[in-house]
Amino acid sequence: MTFATVAAPAIRLAREGFEVETHLAESLSRNAADLAADPALAADLLHPDGSPYRVGERLRRPALAATLERLSRDGVEAFYRGPLAEEITATVRANGGILTAEDLAAYRVVERRPVVTRYRGLRVAGMPPPSSGGGIIATALEILEGYRLSDLEDDSPTYEHLVAETLKAVFADRARYYGDPDTSPTPLDRLYSHDRAARIRSRFSAVRPLPANAYGSGSPPRDAGTSHVSVIDGAGNAVACTSSINTAFGSKLEVRGVILNNTMDDFSLQPGVPNAYGLVGNETNAVSPSKRPLSSMSPTMVLDDRGVRLTAGGSGGPFIISATLQTILGVLDFDQAADAAVAAARIHHQWLPDVLVVEDRMPESTTRSLERRGHSIRSSAGIAAVQVVERRSSDGATHLVAASDERKGGVAAAY
């Protein structure tokens, strides 16, 4: 499949425009001052008087359409060399950055083998480092497979406590071991081995959380810049694709319709200092030349002997990992349909800070029980956004069921 084929729908959408929905309208309003500071962003995403687009208004992005048309015609190398690349580097350097034309020209896509583990007799494939998502979800599933989760209620205090302690353990791994595998190989086989999962489970207490330092020591915003698409077609082909410019509107700079990312924040800019999402790391993910930063992207596929059973992923910084994990557990352990698994209340723990984030939709009795057990609770209106397509059999027929998270205004589509 060529770039031109993939880009055609995006070109049409950018040129013809789309109606602004609630989530985008709120993000435009919240970031209007920053958008106005960059002339290209202001011209693209604000009205001529500087006011943000409102819900239901049509937003067109002709500059982006023109850039995608050029790449379709001249090939993606036109992004990394030539006038567009020169304009990108000039914009970055004019705003204090150090990107050079040589940096762009030297960039290469690296294809890596997925992280694959087994859970409840199924194969689970996820994104490898430098994304932490695949390895962390694999380790979490190895730990949780030792419990009969289906004997519990999906929003019970015991279930949420087990998931919380599991998340603490695997996010401690994230801080300690994960980075660019070309410079700091991640010991994946050891991290999600059966023996290690059993050792972690043996330390869990059913009645109290362990302190953060029990999972090891190390160098100790609101998401709007990530999107995920899950697809399964009638022939069984599947896609789980996550793309990101990191936080809302990335670096707040735009060149010919392309919003530049601020993904350098995904590095441990200074070991022990939290990034925009409160995540800490050590030298494994420190900045160095030719190195790729750690991410939380978690495109995931679950496969059985008939093919792809489930494709899932999400957006929301480190919350992607916990949200994708809990959605998968909802489908596989609690036999929830895709929409129910996506809509279910979620929790999030990332080791440091030692705080359990609990969605407001969680039953109050569960939240209070978690507090009584010793969890430090912070409430949240929403934890990430997940998109799922599931192959489900009922009444002797097989159906594809899609769900896109209402937390971020997503919609599911079928063709």
- Tokens 């001249």 correspond to 74
The Cα-based distances of 156 to 141, 151, 318, 359, 367 in angstroms read 19, 11, 23, 14, 9
Q: Which of 139, 142, 172, 144 is nearest to 160 (CA)?
A: 144
CB atoms within 10 A of CB 68: 25
As a whole number of angstroms, the distance between CA 330 and CA 391 comes to: 14
To which H or E segment does residue 91 belong?
helix 83-94
Residue type, 407: R
Catalytic residue among 226, 242, 284, 324: 226
Residue environment code for 184-202, b if the CB has 16+ CB neighbours within 10 A, otherwise e = bebebeebbeeebbeebbe
Q: What angle do CA 287, 169, 182 make, to 5 degrees?
A: 30
Sign of the C-alpha dihedral, residues 175, 181, 187, 193?
Answer: positive
As a whole number of angstroms, the distance between CA 384 and CA 407 comes to: 7
Annotated active-site residue 367? The verdict is no
Residues labelled as active-site residues: 226
